[in-house]
Structure 1
Amino acid sequence: MSNIEKRIAFFLPNLNGGGAEKSIVNLVKEFSKRNFYIDLVLVSAQGPYISQIPNNVRIIDLNTSHVILALPKLVKYLASNKPDALISSLNHANVVAIMAKLILNSKTKIIVREDSIPSQERRNSKSIKSKVLPLLMHVFYPYADFVIAVSKGVKEDLVSYVRLKPGRIKVIFNPVLDLEIFDRAKENVDYKWFNDNNYLPIIISVGRLTEPKDFGTLLKAFALVRKQIDARLVILGEGEERKNLETLTKELGVSDYVWMPGFVDNPYKYMSRADVFVLSSLYEGLSMVLIEALALGVPVISTDCKSGPREVLENGKYGKLVPVHDVNALSTAIMEVLTNPKSFEIDKDVLEKYKSEKIFEEYLKLI
């Protein structure tokens, strides 16, 4: 069967501004270039990444408030459209995708992507869902045709915590890099801090404003940096922790030196002009934004969280690693980078494995 005769479906809750959603968008773009019939099936067709979907991709809106409630509509979609493969991401959506296949006894290949660290999700969340999901994953993931882990660390967690068999899991990195990133990094920036003739160092971080990203620790570290260096902090992203973070900036006395514009369509033009990129997460599957910062030549600092950063930075070879939730260590690392800026070159092969085109080829082998 030629590509043009194959229908590939992608399944997600929505297109909110997270790494899992961005990965799927990048995959959709790559598949759409190769003459497949592409369906993007969304529990709710909303989110800032909607605007990035190519015109030749059909968006199927299940128009449902919760992923589990979308199960009947997903079953109906599979029965009516019979895609050759369905690629799902986010563990609760993955479970529902497998359920739909089992209900139908469908011949559609189900490929589930695990982007996060289930053990850390449970440890850092009090929700019932985070406690039940590992059991559901243990029960249903073996029925998927392929289980994809986005890093070696994610695979290890699926084996040790979810108790999946290692042979059932294939590591395929996130599709991160393409020429568009470098072109967009050159676009003009209209915010004053990036155009000020009186140079002041800029620290940048990118991610959803949620507890796992631990921007609170970054803000506290920044407050310590401010006592030594007249720097600025930019945090790009949106989320439920905004009010708490804004309150914290006022309590720390740094609100005039922190800019949080929300989700931006082009973070690369800001990242490429920053003096240091900081990832303060409690855990990461495989941080896409860390890879993007490396590709743009920005010095990086990351928490040594499970499990993506150490893997991406090759044990600290390409950036500083600091303990999770350690304000003093993070502030010290930031000051070291700002006071002793060093240019670095990253091995070409390190970035090659994250190119979207290369990752597409890995998925093509499964379909």
Structure 2
Amino acid sequence: MAVKLYFLINSLAGGGAEKVAIRLSEHLPISEFILLERDVKYKTDKPIFFLSNHSTKTSPIIKTLNIPIYAYKLSDFIEKNSLVVSFLERANFVNIISKLFKKHKAIISVHVDQQTGHVGLRKLNKLLVRLLYPKADLIIAVSHGVKESLINLGIEEEKIKVIYNPYPIDQIRELAKESLGSYEEIFKHPVLITAGRLTKQKGLWYLLRVFKALKEKHKDLKLVILGEGELKDYLVELSQELGLKTYVWDRDRLSESFDVYFLGFQKNPFKFMARSKLFVFPSLWEGFGNVLVEAMVCGVPVVSSDCRSGPREILAPNTDFNYQTQKPEFAEYGVLIPVFEVKYKTAKEPLEEREIMWVETVDKLLEDENLRKNYSEKVKQRAEDFRIEKIVQEWKEVL
């Protein structure tokens, strides 16, 4: 009897790990998606089985307490010799605990640096990682930084394999050509763009403060933010308190008169990226940084925080991935800037040293067209290293 392959993940409500799972599912013979929650924004032609009626809005405490129940339901659904690949921590915990009820093979995919990436139930998460992850049959880390962070928690190195995230490069470049429609007017102006969930991890309040300072010199500059999340109200309010005219996708009528555009979740972010001057990425921690490579595929120069982990491996692959810069670093494939503190800011607080570094670096790139052109060519070359056909082959060998 053929072994059935399942993908297990918290939800398909947007986000980098979810996108990776969808992309891999299009190239691997998976039988079904199994979701802990009922949120689905990414389309898939695979059947979906839900383990609960929970959603992304359900309390994290409730969802954590339900891990054993999810695990039992998973074991009840799958066949004994199944292979279950899980993505994201809660799904990983469920996958491993489920092995107690049904002896399947559990491969877990880890997308967050374990040293910096635990939020919320931080101590409990770390404890569960230490207890459960060694019991997985194999651990896939999305970067060498993530692998190192797992080893630092006591996981055996032999059990961990690094496979970078996959990108359908030809498809992304086709989608990047799509018309902007009603958004066309915004991109007649120079645009800084970022994408990702509106969460603490992404550090977007720093970007708003940096953008406000840049507007003093670059009057025509616009900031486009793609994504949804729980910090939406705080970020919109901060933007307005900074004196920036702020567009919100579910509130305002679109026009080119705004400074900051919160455009929400976009099925095709690439058409926006491709028409922007710079992709800016102030993340406080990462596992890999999916949207960095997506912007690079679109030929957009990248400015990123040198957070753990991912950005350095992507933009400066010939350097030590454990190193973190203390000043702006014009690396081979993009610019790395020291990572910010995990600390919320108000509109009234003066810019700190690292915010000033961002202002000066982005200003330099906006002023220097040749530097931007040079990076634009280089990022397209680097993106080829993450081509989906190559990454899928690595997954097939593992499976």
TM over 0.5: yes
Give matches, 1:129-148, under 5 Å.
129-148=121-140
For 2:146 and 2:195, the matched residues in 1 are separated by 21
Aligned to 1:223: 212
For 1:348 and 1:305, the matched residues in 2 are separated by 22
Aligned to 1:363: 395
Q: 1:109 aligns with which of 105, 108, 127?
A: 105
Aligned to 1:63: 52
Larger CA deviation: 142-151 vs 334-343: 334-343
Deviations 1:292-330 (A, max 9, x none): 111111011001111211110015211111112221111
Aligned to 1:157: 149
CA 1:221/1:262 → structure 2, altered by over 3 Å: closer, same or farther?
same
Deviations 1:189-223 (A, max 9, x none): 0244x3469x4210000000001100000000000
Aligned to 1:182: 173
For 1:354 and 1:177, the matched residues in 2 are separated by 9
| 2:38 counterpart letter in structure 1 | A
CA 1:80/1:242 → structure 2, altered by over 3 Å: closer, same or farther?
closer
- The answer to whether the 8 A contact 1:67-1:93 is kept is no
- The answer to whether the 8 A contact 1:64-1:70 is kept is no
Aligned length: 347
| 1:46 counterpart letter in structure 2 | D
Describe the SS at the equivalent of 1:93.
helix
CA 1:29/1:71 → structure 2, altered by over 3 Å: closer, same or farther?
farther
- The answer to whether the 8 A contact 2:297-2:379 is kept is no
Describe the SS at the equivalent of 2:192.
strand
CA 1:10/1:204 → structure 2, altered by over 3 Å: closer, same or farther?
same
More helix by share: 1
Describe the SS at the equivalent of 1:284.
coil
- The answer to whether the 8 A contact 2:296-2:380 is kept is no
Aligned to 1:46: 39
For 2:13 and 2:235, the matched residues in 1 are separated by 20
Deviations 1:143-195 (A, max 9, x none): 111101100011111111x2212121110111223322111111000244x34
Aligned to 2:192: 203
CA 1:73/1:323 → structure 2, altered by over 3 Å: closer, same or farther?
closer
Q: 1:240 aligns with which of 230, 233, 241?
A: 230
Runs of 4+ in structure 1 off by over 6 angstroms are none
For 1:97 and 1:339, the matched residues in 2 are separated by 50
Give matches, 1:12-51, under 5 Å.
12-31=9-28, 36-49=29-42
- The answer to whether the 8 A contact 2:36-2:70 is kept is no
Aligned to 1:121: 117
CA 1:202/1:349 → structure 2, altered by over 3 Å: closer, same or farther?
closer
- The answer to whether the 8 A contact 2:299-2:380 is kept is no
Q: 2:373 aligns with which of 339, 343, 360?
A: 343
Aligned to 1:320: 335
Q: 1:251 aligns with which of 241, 244, 258?
A: 241
Give matches, 1:253-332, under 5 Å.
253-255=243-245, 256-314=258-316, 316-325=331-340, 326-332=354-360
- The answer to whether the 8 A contact 1:177-1:292 is kept is no
Structure 2 length normalisation: TM-score?
Answer: 0.82
Shift of 1:63: 2.2
Q: Which runs of 5+ in 2 are unaligned?
A: 55-62, 246-257, 320-330, 341-353
- The answer to whether the 8 A contact 1:301-1:319 is kept is yes
Shift of 1:242: 0.5
CA 1:43/1:347 → structure 2, altered by over 3 Å: closer, same or farther?
closer
Larger CA deviation: 203-212 vs 37-46: 37-46
Describe the SS at the equivalent of 2:116.
helix
- The answer to whether the 8 A contact 1:6-1:37 is kept is no
- The answer to whether the 8 A contact 1:276-1:300 is kept is yes
| 2:109 counterpart letter in structure 1 | R
For 2:30 and 2:157, the matched residues in 1 are separated by 32
Q: Which runs of 5+ in 1 are unaligned?
A: none
* Aligned-residue identity in percent: 34
Deviations 1:79-119 (A, max 9, x none): 44316311101112201210001232x1x221101100122
For 2:85 and 2:290, the matched residues in 1 are separated by 19
CA 1:220/1:346 → structure 2, altered by over 3 Å: closer, same or farther?
same
Aligned to 2:89: 91
Describe the SS at the equivalent of 1:30.
coil
Aligned to 1:167: 158
For 2:362 and 2:300, the matched residues in 1 are separated by 13
Describe the SS at the equivalent of 1:208.
coil
CA 1:37/1:173 → structure 2, altered by over 3 Å: closer, same or farther?
closer
- The answer to whether the 8 A contact 1:275-1:338 is kept is yes
